[in-house]
Chains A and B, each alone.
Chain A
Amino acid sequence: MAKQLIDQAAATLPADKRVSVYQSTKATHEKRTKLLFDQFNDPDLLRQRAGEIKQHVIENLDTLLPAVEAKLKANGAQVHWASTGEAACEAVLRIMQAHGAKKMVKAKTMVSEEIELAHYLEKHGIEALETDLGEFIVQIDKDHPSHIVRPIIHKNRREIATSFEREGLGAYNDDPETITRRARQFLRHKYLEADVGLTGANFVSVESGRIVLVTNEGNSRFSLAAPKVHIALVGIEKLVPRDRDLGVLLNLLARSATAQQLTVYTEFISGPKGATQPDGPEEMHVIFVDNGRTEVLASDCREILRCIRCGACLNVCPVYRQASGHAYRSVYPGPVGAVLSPLLAGKKFPELADLPKASSLCGACNEVCPVNIPIPDLLLRLREKGKREGAPLASVGTPPMGAWALMASQPTAWKAALFGGKALNYLPTKLIPVPALRAWEEKRALPAWRGGEFRKWMKQRRKS
């Protein structure tokens, strides 16, 4: 039987990468669980409430989006809309060109990965430098991130040291502290040279028109201190109704992502710098990106739009732990990716129709999800969609069910099978002529065949 693509990827993953992915995901997951349950009286209720808040948001986007637009404009930000990834890239380029800008420092944003913004800008003669340490390493290696929160979970320090040496960032040294210091020294001058700082947004409060960014390294903060223009790329689903709702979501996000109470920096940005502030952007642009999200909203899988990109489902998923992120062939790996990527793919759905099948449906992803997304249900709905639309990849790795279907739909065949099953009870298994099979049988007690009892019971019941 043909193997699923994800099985093939898992089989070819080098052993040391498998170990590093497995160990780090497991450790993060265990820390997360301990922290949540030690610190809150009712972490499950907290998850439910967070899910309800986000579900409210996605089911009321028609009123919340214009409301947040008005608030952002009132705060002094300029608002743009982008239907597709291409439109979003063009919008960024237009803003850069309006300022004659050639250099951008980029904080980590999943939307920019989704729309391949850095490549697009490079093609148009703009240096778009990743500033998150992991993303920076991914960029100089021309690699792809393999985890939503830990982009280089698949790399070890020796590979990184080799890359740094190649890029002229000092002689080979694989001490993580030295690696970090060298990146710090190189990037701080890049912030100061850059014309534009680009970030994403973890949340946008409709009530106050504040963009909320959470980071640990301080790179997004630097991108909002040195350059003169700030661009925020925001998926249209990122809203929260009120500032106070951030209390629920912020409490869950860092704990779920990295087992911290809060990330080091939680930034609330509502516009260009203050009048007396010497540094900071003079202009703030917010680009709301659709890029397939409205199609997801129209589907029966809209719950996936609750996702706050914490990566907890990746860390707990037995499939992700074995296969790592690149096996998912898209920017969103793991259980969330298995749902989101095929949906966001639009017409290219058939190319990713196998992802929803790469799951044991064990339910662990739903159990950890801070916004309580029923991921296993969504995977089943997508499997059905794949079958319904006849996507060839939707059947790879599935045993053919033709013979079973034939037997189950013909009463005579079914009865014969039941009779044959009963006959097995009287088969002299002790006399099997193959020694190996006999040895196997001797160590085991085969269960007695009990098929057909239900029909008998049903017949009796009708008589009486």
Chain B
Amino acid sequence: MSNDREAILGRVRAALAPLPQRAALPDWERELVRMRQMQGASDLTATFCARLKGVNGTPLQSAAELADLLAKNQWTRGYCDPALLPLLGAALAGVQVETTFDRTRVDDYAFGITRASAAIAETGTVVLTDGDTSSRLAALAPWAHIVVLKRMDIFPDIPAALAALPADPNIIWVTGPSKTADVEGILIEGVHGPGVQAVLLVD
């Protein structure tokens, strides 16, 4: 293996040696990658919610709306990050909630409620990290993922979110429910991940 390392790097050096000069790393302005619609957007929460709907995500403005969503779909059993219970306790009164995700009963959870670290307004994306997510599986395996996002944590666009990537081994940007168009190009949601991606906005 170490031989392979030396062999590869040796061949790379040999291949690049004849170049008279190397291509420079271009500098580019953030304006280049900013979407037109974002120029002048001031209300990040409103933009985020509009874009989230655009990718078939579900914005929720209050714990009461969360309770309605669960009741309407008869999602009676699920997971909730223990840190969120004080905030959501009342809304979850009517359902069976567990605070540890038991992977041997992966099919028993209808929903998983976890925390978001941030969001991106321009694309309707939520940012999940190991630092804030209590269980990777709970945010992924249940049919509905409800993520709790603080309004102040919304970035305007992708470059802003990239500039502030936290030191975390697992950062996931989620843009709407899991989906595929592999079969005849027909869009189907809920492939391996959630079929419903809801975002509860809090202050």
A residues adjacent to B (C-beta < 8 A)? 20, 23-24, 27, 38-42, 45-46, 49, 52-53, 55-56, 59-62, 65-66, 75-76, 80-83, 87, 91, 131-134, 137, 150-152, 156-157, 160, 176-177, 179-181, 183-184, 187-189, 191-192, 208, 210, 216-219, 221-222, 224-226, 236, 241, 243-244, 246-248, 250-251, 258, 260-274, 276-280, 288, 290, 294-295, 297-298, 302
Contacts and interface: CB of A to CB of B under 8 A. Distances in A.
B32 A45 contact: yes
B5 interface: yes
Contact of B4 (A75, A87, A248): A87
A55 B23 contact: yes
B81 to A, nearest CB: 12
A149 to B, nearest CB: 10
Contact of B186 (A49, A59, A176): A176
Interface stretch (B59-67, B88-96, B169-177): B169-177
A192 B104 CA distance: 8
24 contacts: A23-B185, A52-B23, A59-B23, A65-B9, A82-B1, A82-B4, A87-B1, A134-B182, A137-B182, A177-B188, A184-B190, A216-B191, A217-B180, A246-B162, A247-B30, A247-B33, A247-B158, A261-B55, A264-B174, A264-B175, A268-B170, A269-B169, A294-B15, A295-B15
A263 to B, nearest CB: 7
B191 to A, nearest CB: 4
Contacts of B26: 49, 52-53, 56
B23 A221 contact: no
B58 interface: no
Interface of B: 1-5, 7-9, 11-16, 19, 22-26, 28, 30-33, 35-37, 55, 100-101, 103, 106-107, 122-123, 125, 130-131, 133-137, 140-141, 158-159, 162-163, 165, 168-186, 188, 190-194
A248 B12 CA distance: 26
Contact of B178 (A150, A218, A226, A280): A218
In the A-B complex, the 9 residue pairs with the closest CB atoms: A218-B193, A298-B15, A274-B130, A294-B11, A134-B182, A217-B191, A225-B136, A81-B5, A218-B178
A226 B184 CA distance: 30
A218 B192 contact: yes
Given A65-B9, A277-B133, A83 B188 contact: no
B103 A268 contact: no
